[in-house]
Amino acid sequence: MKRSDLAVYFIMGTENCVKAPLQTLEEALAAGITMFQLREKGSYALKGEAYIQFARQCQALCTQYNVPFVINDDVALAVLLEADGLHIGQDDAQLQIAKAQFKGFIGVSVHTADEMATAIDGGCAYVGIGPIYATSSKADAKVPCHTAFPKAMHEQFPECPIVAIGGIEASNVAPVLATGVDGVAVISAICHSSDIQQTVKQLKGETI
Ligand code: TZP
Ligand code: MG
């Protein structure tokens, strides 16, 4: 992956969507998202063959738009589908174990400088930092870190690509981009948008 792939990183699972999930993904791809992560969570999450088929449909759309396709948490699915990337949190498979099984790139969620240093030593492709702001899309989200933390991590580890996540939308993206991070990862800003084209432009910091 390239650092610029993190510019607008759309994350979605069926429970996040207001419209049909594949329609939301296709609109987001057409609008210019630069990376996509399938994060299928929650009580109504697809399971088994339905989950695999949905993942394959998301992957096919990403391939059509030449956008990297990333799987959240599920190392086995990432291996099965030969996804471009895998994203893991601190509570998920350890980076070394995931790397032994999956040959694509791996991103890691980090909340402290120590976790970030460990992820870098372990060969992560990028880190996710957040939640920046309050979010209702992650049940067990930590307390918001706001913009000082990603700014400090970018200064301390300038070679490591960073994507900021959590509560980011068009109205509050400017101070996040000003920290020097490579981009923003969003769920609801796109899933709940009435104009995805416009939202993606705004998240890129482009004025209309
Ligand atoms: N990790 C930290 S915050 C978050 C995840 C997956 C949820 C982001 O969703 P939203 O709707 O963009 O706040
Ligand atoms: Mg996780």
DSSP state for residue 146 in the 8-state scheme? T
What is the maximum alpha-carbon separation in the chain?
44
pTM over 0.95: yes
Question: Is residue 131 lining ligand 1, measured as CB closer than 6 Å?
Answer: yes
| Cα–Cα dist 180/83, whole Å | 28
ipTM score of complex: 0.97
What tokens were used for 138?
A: 């992650």
Q: Which ligand has the nearest atom to the CA of 176?
A: 1
> Going from the N-terminus, what domains does the chain have, and what CATH number goes with each?
3-203 (3.20.20.70)
Question: Is 34 annotated as ligand-binding?
Answer: no
| Cα–Cα dist 164/203, whole Å | 12
pLDDT digit string (tens) for the chain, length 208 residues: 999 999 999 999 999 999 999 999 999 999 999 999 999 999 999 999 999 999 999 999 999 999 999 999 999 999 999 999 999 999 887 999 999 999 999 999 999 999 999 999 999 999 999 999 999 999 899 999 999 999 999 999 999 999 999 999 999 999 999 999 999 999 999 999 999 999 999 999 986 5
Angle (nearest 5°) at CA 161 between 155 and 165? 90
Question: Is 39 annotated as ligand-binding?
Answer: yes
